[in-house]
Structures are given as C-alpha cells and as structure tokens.
A and B are shown apart, each in its own frame.
Chain A
Amino acid sequence: MDANEIRKVVLGELRRIAPELEEVAPAKPLRDQVDLDSMDWLNFLVALNERLQIEIPEADYRKLGTLDQVVQYLAAKAR
C-alpha cells in the first residue's frame, strides 16, 4: 500500500469518528483542526491499527501530530 492509499484510509477512519471534518491542512496539528477528545484519538489509532494491521505502540503516539506525520509513520511501517 503506498502513501496515497494510506492517506485515504487515514482520512476515512478520521471521518468515521469526526464526520464533521472538512478539509485538513496536512502539516498542521490534527487536533487543532478537529475536535478530538482523548477517547476519539484512541479510537482513531485503534481503528488504523485494525484496518491496516500495523502495530502503533503507545510510546509512538506523540510522533503522530499531523496528518502527514501519521501517513509517513504508517507508510514506513507498512513496508
């Protein structure tokens, strides 16, 4: 799966949790652009994990601030 496909999956899962989401600035912190409480954020990461079968250890959560960071992180692990 390439980065573009991963981006689609990430946005799709994000919209399942926050359907009100319109456009996302990929380099800006996600949580400044969309209201995600701690539970939404965990549900989002768990959904990505299930959908892509990629482990996301809790220690890595802080590396996942922006859409670009999430996509890059997952793409690197998907290889």
Chain B
Amino acid sequence: MERPPIIRKSAAGRRVPPSAPLSWDEARRRLAGLPGGGLNIAHEAVDRHATGRLADRVAIRWLGASGARREITYRELAALSSRFAHVYRSLGVEKGDAVFVLCGRIPELYAAVLGGLKCGAAVSPLFAAFGPEPLKTRIKLGRGKVLVTTEALYERKVKKVAGDMPTLAHVLALDSAEASSMLRSASESFEIERTTPDDISFLHFTSGTTGMPKGAQHVHGAVVMHCASAKVALDLHDEDIFWCTADPGWVTGTSYGIVAPLVQGVTSVVDEAEFDAERWYSILEAEKVAVWYTAPTAIRMLMKGGAGAAKRRPLPALRFIASVGEPLNPEAVWWGMDAFGLPIHDNWWQTETGGIMIANTAAMDVKPGSMGKPLAGVEAAIARRSERGMRLLEGPGEEGELVLRAGWPAMFRGYLGEEERYRRCFADGWYFTGDLAKRDADGYFWFVGRADDVIKSAGHLIGPFEVESALMEHAAVAEAGVIGKPDPVVGEVVMAFVMLKSGFEPSEELRLAILGHARRRLGAAVAPKEIAFATALPRTRSGKIMRRLLKARELGLPEGDTSMLEEGA
C-alpha cells in the first residue's frame, strides 16, 4: 500500500494539547536548586517533591516478574534513597567517588542510584546482562569504590573477577542480612552534598571502535535538559502514567527511566520481567500508561505478533509513543497507527549527549523514518571533517556526519582518563557524533549509518574490540574480527570471524566451545550470536583488521577501496 511520507496531526484529534517548546532558561526556572545554593539531580527528582504536593504520589509502580506489585511514593523514595546515602557514607564514599549499581529492575535499584547522587558520588549503573569481563573492565576503568548488587548476581558474575578490581572497597548485596541491617538502622533524612551544575553525577560507559569502553562523564546540570526534553520530546504532563522500557544499565534507562519522570513528578511503571508481548499489552492496558518510551527492537518484536493482538486491548489512556535506540523504520511508525491509532515518535540521542537532542515531538507532523528535528536550544548540522578542518554541508539531502553545537546542558564533560579521545570529538565548537545523517528541506534529520565499526544491537552499542579481545583469550583462537550483521529485528547482531591457531581444526564442537567461552566472559548482551571460521582475516598494511571488508564480504557487497589491504588476505 502506498503510504504518504508524512503523518499530519490536527488539533481536533488531540485530547491534550502538546507541550510548548521549553528553553533551557525556562527549564532552569522549573527546578528548585538545593536549599542554600547548588544543584543536585536527586533533590530535583525526589526530595523537593517529598515535601510538597506530590509527597504521596506514587513515584514508582513496580511490577515483579512473578506477579508481585509494589508502589513507592515520592516521600518513601526520598527516605529510602537517604538511607542508601548514609550507608555509602559509612562505607567511606565521598564526593567524586564512584558507586556502581548492578542489579535487575528491582525497586531498590532506584533508591540506590538516587542515594549515590545525594552523596555527590559518580553513579554508574551497569547492565545485568553483562558478563564478568565487561563488568570488571568498567568497574576498573571507573575506579569503583562501592558495588551495589544482589547475592545471585555477585555469585554468577562478580565473584570470579572480584580479585581483579583493586579500587573496590565494598560490595553491598541488597538481599544480604548485612545490607538490610545497615539500611534499617540508617536515618531517613540526609543532607545532600552541595553539588554544582558542573559536578559529576553519572558515569555511563559506551563503546568505540578501538580500545576499551569509554566512560562518559555527566554532570548534575544535565537535569535541566531532562526536565525540558521530558516535557517536549516525551510530552509528559502532570498525572501521566509513564513507562520507559529501557533498562537503567543503559543511558536511556537512567536519563528517562529514572531521572526525567521523577523530575517531572509523574508515576513511572517499572517492569522487572524481560520482554513478552502479551505481558506488555496487559501492562499498557492495566496500568493505564499514557506515555510509552520504548525501542525499535521491542516494537519489531510486537509487530511479529500482528496488530490484532494490540487491537484486542482497548488502550484509551495511551496518548504518546516514542522510540529510541536505532532508527525506527517507516513500517514500524505506520504499524503504530494501525495497532494503537498513534504514530510512534522516533527520536535521536546517544550516551554522550545525555538527553534527547532530535525528536519527532507531539506538536510536530511525523515523517516516518526520520529522527525528527532538533529540540529548542539544540543546534544540529551535517558536516564533513578533514585534516584541514571541518565544513558544514548546508544543502538538503547532503550526507555527512551529524554534529551538534557544543554546550547543551546534558553534554558529557569527558571520557574518564582519556582527555585526548574527548578532545578529538570536537572541532570548531561542534561535537562530532559518529553517526552519518542527512537533513531534508523541511529540517528533518535522517540517519544514514555509523561513521565507524561500532555495532548497534537492540539499541545498544557494542565495541568490536572488546568482543575480539575476549575471543582471542580462547586457547584455539589466533585472531578474531567482529562485525555487526544486519538483522530485521535487533538492527545488527554481533558476528565473529575467528582464525584458529595451527593444530586446531574447525568443528561444530569447537565452535560451540568458543561461543560458550565468549558468553561466559562477555554475557549474552555482548557475546557474538554467530561465529564463523575463517582461514585469513583481511588486514591493512599496518596490521589492523578491516572489519568493513569482512562485513562487505559477508553481505556480498562491493568491497570498496582495498588499496590499503595487505596482500594475500
């Protein structure tokens, strides 16, 4: 069926007028600031509500995987996070120390994160599907002082690498007798560390093509952007029920699963369980979700079940659907119209930006397949960088790297311990995102691809180097090259090519042994889904594996410029 290229919105079809654009200054005025000066995300997210009209509003409505249910009000969340803050202090956590949080989506996670912010710690939530290696790498790089986790996760993931994290002074297992006694005896009020807008709040790890993960440092001042973007890009209104399906182990689940909805004072649904189509529809229905922020992979998994499953549920409360993580294909936007009577609003941002930068907002017409337009206060452009400098590409449809004028409130302030790597992201006052894009004549931006070899699977960035390193630790593997192989549901899957050491022969048994090794080290979220044996890996003359060429060969695409290729590969 022929679909028009734009979904026009009319005022008549709206139950609630969309939020008006909000400048940074207007957003700043909506924040309280710390009593006596300073800015702290935890104060804006919970403490100020806990003493105001929202004190008894449910902040988090938690749905347990096995049917349990728990509601936590703003007052209770403020108290519980203060208890955590006292416990951290008693473990020696001072301003600037790193607190890592590794657990599933349980209620204590939210208080543990907010408690860390209250102490002025740099809080780093980790994804519970990471294996021991990625966890160790991140905790070491981030110089973690305290790790908050559960006994089961400690046993399964942390124990075997615990001896290799020298800065880690304490592991707090939430379900241990020790933790519950410490929390029980801690006070419910805590004087928040007097942080400034430029003090570090979160440390989010992201992946690059080369080297180990990068720890992007964020600041308390980012809350200005969380406040403005939640209003405009997610159209959050007072009394909305909001559901962000992202795990807090990734930046979306922190910025928009913890901070933004709390700052806005709405009720968030938190589902502990993994994706399940029937479960998700019943949550949308039973919890009367008004605003739903999800991801293309989840939407495409719902699409597999057909629009009928969605239509069987009346969802009168659902008003706005947004998606982030990777470009949402036009079919998925149209499927939203069919299944829910609502378009799905794609938006774009990344770990380094800290918050939503470009979006199809509630007030805008939607162009299916486009990431939308920059939010008020965000300046985006298309550019090309060369050794002589950079050049902006002004013409509609010209492809280049997506760049952002530096200085937005949630901009990352560094890659931990890697000043040079941070500096290289900027030129002439612009931040280079690493994403290739184009802008059309109406000002809508369109994603084209990545400028590097980073793999994007189910909305998460995976660094090929980290995967290759783990593979090469297997006794049979001489070399490994890892690529993202296109996949209709998750965007890309991690695929590895391995070259065996002499004396080893390819076999199904060996393939499974290498796969098991990689999964044990890296965890399901990072390990390859496919492993193929190769007799040689294409390399540049300087010895770097040409992943781009591996990918082109795998997909049967033109190999492009191979003049840098080492002979014989």
Contact = CB atoms under 8 A, between A and B. Distances in A.
A41 B274 CA distance: 10
A68 to B, nearest CB: 16
B216 to A, nearest CB: 23
A58 B520 contact: no
Interface string A31-63: 110011111111100000000000000110110
Nearest to A40: B524
Given A58-B305, A62-B278, A62-B279, A35 B490 contact: no
B129 A37 contact: yes
Contacts of A59: 277-278, 309
Contacts of A39: 458, 489-490, 493, 529
Interface string A15-41: 110111100000001011001111111
Where chain A touches its partner, the secondary structure class is: helix
A16 B458 contact: no
Contact of B512 (A16, A31, A43, A62): A16
B515 interface: yes
Contacts of B276: 61-62
B7 interface: no
Contacts of A36: 524
A37 B515 contact: no
Interface string B479-519: 00000000001100100000000000000000011011101
A56 to B, nearest CB: 13
B54 interface: no
A20 B516 contact: yes
Contacts of A40: 524, 529
A38 B519 contact: no
B523 interface: yes
Contacts of B131: 35
Contacts of B301: 38, 42
Contacts of A18: 516, 519, 524
A18 B525 CA distance: 12
B3 interface: no
Interface of B: 65, 129, 131, 152, 274-279, 297, 301, 304-305, 309, 458, 489-490, 493, 512-513, 515-517, 519-520, 523-525, 529
Q: State the 10 A-B residue pairs at the shortest beta-carbon distance, nearest first.
A: A19-B516, A20-B516, A35-B524, A19-B512, A37-B524, A20-B520, A38-B275, A58-B305, A20-B519, A19-B515
